[in-house]
């Protein structure tokens, strides 16, 4: 059974008319009519209730449309998985749900395999297993420890949150600080920080967060203002310009002691890839800062 027939059936179920189905698929209405008749002939069941000026799906047609949609999704997943697997033979794709590991990967770049390719756009946590399963990624950094029949995780290290405060603020005169002590302050924050955004918003609900979509804007604001900002124990692995945007920064860096300010970081991967990835995972663990 040819895919275009299934596409026509699924599209008709959505659009409800032959004319709209033809327009959506960029073909003529007679083409759709012939395709629907051919599909009925191949299945040997009535899919449509044909009236003088109206055509609708029968109950069987509705079921066929739902099953056709599932089949098309499975076929697309099949193609994607095969293509990604072939790509993985020459390229080692890496993804992450939070930005800290990107710093580590950049720091280690000269030592990493030349075929390693990093996606710098953060993915959502619910994409981890699908991206591993269809081989879009060979390994994914996250704060989730996952164990299924096909996926497992390895602990790499903890990412610890640090706040940078103007040194003349009374909160800055201490070696440790809690989220509660940061209540009411305004912070400049990068927008793409993954789970950290939820953590700081929940931990300091009465704070103001000035989210910046680009690092250049974030750097400029931290350079020419005294707004507090956050970093982690991974930040020192960046270049001096990235870690200390102001040549004479008058802030002090203070570790945050709350449990939620310390995230365990894992690498998620397919169990079948364990032996191939083990040396790389060990390299990540060794390089991860305390």
What is residue 85's predicted lDDT score, i.e. its pLDDT?
Answer: 78
What is residue 287's predicted lDDT score, i.e. its pLDDT?
Answer: 95
The pTM assigned to this predicted structure is 0.69
Walking along the chain (290 residues) 10 residues at a time, the average pLDDT comes out as: 91 93 92 92 93 91 94 88 74 94 94 91 96 93 96 96 93 93 94 95 95 90 90 85 54 95 97 91 94
Instruction: Characterize 160-198 residue by residue with b for buried, 16 or more Cβ atoms within 10 angstroms of its Cβ, and e for exposed.
Output: bbbbbbeeeeebbeeeebebebbeebebbbbebbbbbbe
What is residue 243's predicted lDDT score, i.e. its pLDDT?
Answer: 46
What is residue 47's predicted lDDT score, i.e. its pLDDT?
Answer: 94
Please give the domain boundaries of the chain with CATH numbers for all domains.
Answer: 3-87 (1.10.10.10), 88-157+265-287 (3.40.190.10), 158-262 (3.40.190.10)
């Amino acid at each position: 059974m040819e895919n275009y027939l299934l596409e026509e059936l699924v599209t008709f179920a959505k659009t409800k008319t032959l004319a709209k189905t033809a327009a959506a698929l960029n073909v003529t209405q007679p083409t759709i009519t012939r395709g629907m008749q051919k599909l009925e002939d191949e299945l040997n069941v009535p899919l449509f209730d044909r009236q003088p000026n109206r055509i609708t799906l029968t109950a069987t047609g509705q079921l066929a449309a739902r099953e056709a949609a599932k089949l098309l999704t499975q076929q697309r997943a099949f193609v994607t998985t095969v293509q990604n697997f072939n790509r993985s033979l020459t390229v080692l794709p890496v993804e992450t749900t939070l930005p800290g590991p990107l710093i580590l990967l950049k720091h280690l770049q000269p030592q990493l395999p030349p075929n390693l390719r990093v996606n710098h756009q953060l993915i959502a946590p619910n994409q981890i297993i699908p991206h591993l399963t269809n081989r879009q990624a060979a390994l994914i950094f996250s704060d989730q420890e996952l164990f299924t029949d096909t996926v497992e995780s390895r602990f790499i290290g903890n990412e610890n949150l640090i706040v940078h405060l103007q040194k003349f603020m009374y909160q800055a005169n201490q070696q440790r600080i809690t989220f509660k002590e940061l209540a009411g302050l305004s912070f400049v924050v990068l927008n793409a920080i993954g789970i950290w955004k939820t953590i700081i918003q929940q931990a300091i609900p009465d704070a103001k967060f000035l989210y910046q979509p680009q690092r250049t804007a974030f750097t400029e604001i931290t350079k020419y203002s005294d707004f507090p900002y956050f970093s982690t124990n991974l930040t020192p692995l960046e270049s001096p310009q990235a870690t200390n945007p102001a040549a004479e920064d008058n802030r002090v860096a203070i570790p945050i002691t709350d449990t939620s300010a310390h995230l365990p970081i894992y690498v998620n991967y397919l169990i079948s890839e364990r032996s191939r990835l083990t040396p790389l995972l060990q390299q990540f663990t060794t390089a991860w800062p305390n």
